[in-house]
Structure 1
Amino acid sequence: MDIITADLCDEYRDQVEIAEPIFSIYGEKKAFYGPISTVKVYEDNVLVKKALQTIPEGSVLVVDGGGSTRCALLGDNLAKIAVKRKLAGVIVYGCIRDSAEINQLNIGVRAIATHPLKSIKEGKGVENIPVQFAGINFEPGAYLYADEDGILVSDERLNK
């Protein structure tokens, strides 16, 4: 099913939250949707990798990286895990790296910037909690819809 966030806004205006337009688009998949899984980390991507390896197929991993632009939380190796596991996409409130490689993968990725430095590996952070950034709340189990026009979140699936 094609996702068009403008059409979803027209039809479900009172049921969606719209993220502030702070993200750049990466990956071959320009539009994607799925149930949200979350991790909250800061300059440490151990839990990002764990989530990519364990969340259900078709999910969208939402990474609250605190908006840090001092290192990357996702690179091509982690993006390949998402592709292999058939995840819908990844939203990173932080940076990614290996963007040229990620742009050739069948995955949808949104991030605020790119950065060549990899993150630390201490395993600090929290999984499966509500996270807030870009002016909205991302609840585990809610649905996220993304395309070239933006990112929407709804408590329930809209495109049945």
Structure 2
Amino acid sequence: MLDILPDLFDQHAQQLQWLPIQWCDFGGVPTFYGEVQTVRCFEDNSRVKEVLAMPGRGRVLLVDGGGSLNRALLGDLIAQSAQDCGWAGVVILGAVRDVHALKGMSLGIKALGACPIKTQRKGIGELDCVLHIEGVAVNSGDYVYADRHGIAISSTAFHIDSEGAIKEW
């Protein structure tokens, strides 16, 4: 189950939207998928920390950090919380830190890059908002599918079994 996106696009292209960004992989799980929860924040990871401390139930947090690489919106402690709470992954339109520790976690993590500087938490950010990433609208409740090819978004849930077979739910 390493390459899910080629098969998904071959079989269900009309139900998928490609996020045309060359993401960097930082987590220990390069292939992941799940229901999306959205957060918008800029150089303040207060909401990211809050959300990832809640039960994840296999979901994926999609964070619009405005593309900033000046502050890391995710580090090892928050990522460990996400892993412990059952999140499948975190996608950040921004930076992460503690990259060596992140690589050892059982969590999918994609971001634009890395930055060693933490944020100042001011409690700023929006939850469950519509994110517009490279012309693609992403809502909480959509589904994200990620592998080393990148990321696709869909309003349709697909089940991908351990052998890579894809079924619409």
Asked if Structure 1 and Structure 2 have the same fold, meaning a TM-score greater than 0.5 normalized by the shorter chain, the answer is yes
In structure 1, the residue matched to 2:89 is: 89
| Rounded Cα–Cα distance in structure 1 between residues aligned with 2:56 and 2:108 | 16
Gaps of 5+ in 2: 160-168
Alignment partner of 1:150 is 2:146:
no
Give aligned-pair identity as a percent: 34
Structure 1's 112 and 126: CA in aligned 2 closer, same or farther, altered over 3 A?
same
Alignment root-mean-square deviation, CA: 1.3
- Which one-letter code corresponds to 2:122 in the other structure? E
Contact kept? 2:41, 2:63, Cα under 8 Å:
yes
Of stretches 54-63 and 84-93 in structure 1, the one that deviates more from structure 2 is 54-63
Tell me the residue number matched to 2:51.
51
* TM-score w.r.t. length of structure 2: 0.90
CA deviation after TM superposition for structure 1 residue 55, in Å: 5.0
What secondary structure sits across from 1:62 in the alignment?
strand
Offset from partner CA, 1:92-119 (integer Å, 9 cap, x none): 0000000010001110100001000001
Whether the 8 Å contact between 1:143 and 1:153 is mirrored in structure 2 is yes
Q: CA–CA distance in 2 between the matches of 1:105 and 1:54?
A: 18
Conserved? CA contact 2:31–2:147, under 8 Å? yes
Given that 2:56 and 2:82 are in contact with CA atoms closer than 8 Å, whether structure 1 keeps it comes out as no
- Counterpart amino acid of 2:117? L
Q: For the Cα contact (< 8 Å) 1:22–1:134, is it kept in 2? A: no
Gaps of 5+ in 1: none
The 1:17/1:39 distance shift into structure 2, 3 A limit, reads same
Within-5 A mapping of 1:101-140: 101-140=101-140
Cα distance between partner residues in 2 of 1:55 and 1:104: 21
* Separation in structure 1 between the aligned mates of residue 42 and residue 142 of structure 2, nearest angstrom: 23
SS at match of 2:121: coil
Query: Which residue number in structure 2 is paired with residue 37 of structure 1?
Result: 37
Using the TM superposition, name which of 81-90 and 51-60 deviates more.
Answer: 51-60
Separation of aligned partners in 1, 2:32 and 2:153: 12
